[in-house]
Amino acid sequence: MKRKDTAAAEHVLIVGGSSGMGLALAKRLLAAGSKVTIVGRSEHRLLAARQQLPQAERLRSIAADVTREDEVARLFRSVGPLDHIVTTAADITGVYVLLPEMDISIARNVVDSKVIGPLLLAKHGAPVLGAHGSITFTSGIAAYRPAAKGSVVAAINGALESLAYALAIELAPIRVNVVSPGWVDTPIWDAVAGAGKAAALNAMAKRLPVGRVGRPEDIAQAIQSVMHNDFISGTVVHVDGGQRLV
């Protein structure tokens, strides 16, 4: 595949593109003229996302569970050549508990969604990427600012970053990077904090040097920058409002 010279020519696959950071990235890329394929497990959520993304002629949605290798292989057989692969997907429901209360089956689900899924995306996606393509994972602040009840999330974010370092060497010249968000106001907080979401986010905003928590668009902008800078590989880009410093 020849290197693409314009955004209008590129094809980007976004796993987790039906909500939050992935949806914000899809909007941004479509507005720039890119072709975008969004992937998620829920047909209903993908349909809802399509209604928020008006450039239907350059948008495709595919339902797939990226923790299942057969579905990932099927995904890449159907999607065609790609320039970039991004995953923002995570299933962390029920994992924020103290260790004595930990349900190991739930912990395994989180590992599958944030480590095994990205590994499978790289395994089956790399062959359809051009030599100047990229793979971008999303980790998170928990790898650097772990807290009680967050042991599993801290571990998987650290593991994902180490995976990216290794893949950047193995898959070169394909670039592999990680964007590490801080606290971002996305729907995932409804599951994590429930009714306490607003209070938790407001308290963190007061602590951060930038004076606010993140927005999905902040992370989308960073991912797009990493995708298009062909001198960045094997790197973690922090988009956390200075949270590692406080």
Structure tokens at 244: 């590692």
113 is catalytic: no
Q: What whole-number distance in Å separates Cα of residue 18 and Cα of residue 194?
A: 21
Catalytic residue among 18, 19, 134, 139: 139
Cα 41 → chain centroid? 14
Q: Calculate the alpha carbon distances from 239 to 10, 193, 229, 235 in Å.
A: 24, 21, 16, 13
Q: Calculate the alpha carbon distances from 39 to 71, 199, 242 in Å.
A: 11, 32, 31
Q: Which residues lie below 8 Å from residue 202, measured CB to CB, with a gap of 6+?
A: none
Instruction: Tell me the per-residue pLDDT of 15-45, one tens digit each, with 9 for 90 and over.
Output: 999 999 999 999 999 999 999 999 999 999 9
Query: Which domains can be identified in the chain, with CATH numbers?
Result: 7-241 (3.40.50.720)
Q: What whole-number distance in Å separates Cα of residue 71 and Cα of residue 173?
A: 26
Length in residues, the chain: 246
Alpha helical stretches, state H, the chain: 20-31, 43-50, 69-79, 104-111, 117-125, 151-170, 188-193, 197-207, 216-228
pLDDT in tens, the chain (246 residues): 344 444 557 999 999 999 999 999 999 999 999 999 999 999 999 999 999 998 789 999 999 999 999 999 999 999 999 999 999 998 888 889 999 999 999 999 999 999 999 999 999 999 999 989 999 999 999 999 999 999 999 999 999 999 999 999 999 999 999 999 999 998 777 767 778 889 999 999 999 999 999 999 999 999 999 999 999 999 999 999 999 999
Q: Which amino acid is at 147?
A: A
Contact between residue 41 and residue 63 where contact means Cβ atoms under 8 Å apart: yes
Q: What is the three-class DSSP state of 176?
A: strand
Instruction: Work out the mean pLDDT of the chain and round it to a whole number.
Output: 93
Contact between residue 117 and residue 15 where contact means Cβ atoms under 8 Å apart: yes
Give the 3-state DSSP-derived string for 100-126, with helices as H, strands as E and coil as C.
HHCCHHHHHHHHHHHHHHHHHHHHHHH
pTM, rounded to two decimals: 0.93
